[in-house]
Amino acid sequence: MKVIVDHSLCEGHGRCMENVPEVFEVRDDDRSYPLMKEIPEELRARVEHAVTVCPRAAIKLVE
Ligand code: SF4
């Protein structure tokens, strides 16, 4: 599974980083950046949760 953040939607609220700091990093430009290309299975549930709490629906998962 890969994770993609749509920077045209992301506003840097940081909910993703609060939930899965191993995977998401909000940088100085107030955009979230995935820190790894392939998400390990053990992080799947937390990343899926991050998708649901993103207020901008900016996170997409690609299998
Ligand atoms: S929770 Fe959504 S809008 Fe907020 S920083 Fe993460 S991806 Fe961007």
Between CA 4 and CA 56 the distance in angstroms is 13
pTM of the complete model: 0.95
CA of 12 to the centre of ligand 1 (A): 5
Residue-level pLDDT at 28: 97
Burial 15-27 (b: 16+ CB within 10 A, else e): bbbebbeebbebe
Structural domains in the chain (count): 1
Atom of ligand 1 nearest to the CA of 11: 3
Residue nearest to ligand 1 atom 2, measured at CA: 54
Atom of ligand 1 nearest to the CA of 5: 7
Residue-level pLDDT at 46: 98
Residue nearest to ligand 1 atom 8, measured at CA: 10
Residue-level pLDDT at 61: 97
| Percent of the chain surpassing pLDDT 90 | 97
| Percent of the chain surpassing pLDDT 70 | 100
Q: Residue 7 is part of which domain span?
A: 2-62
What is the CATH classification number for the domain harbouring 58?
A: 3.30.70.20
Mean pLDDT score of the chain:
97
Residue-level pLDDT at 4: 98
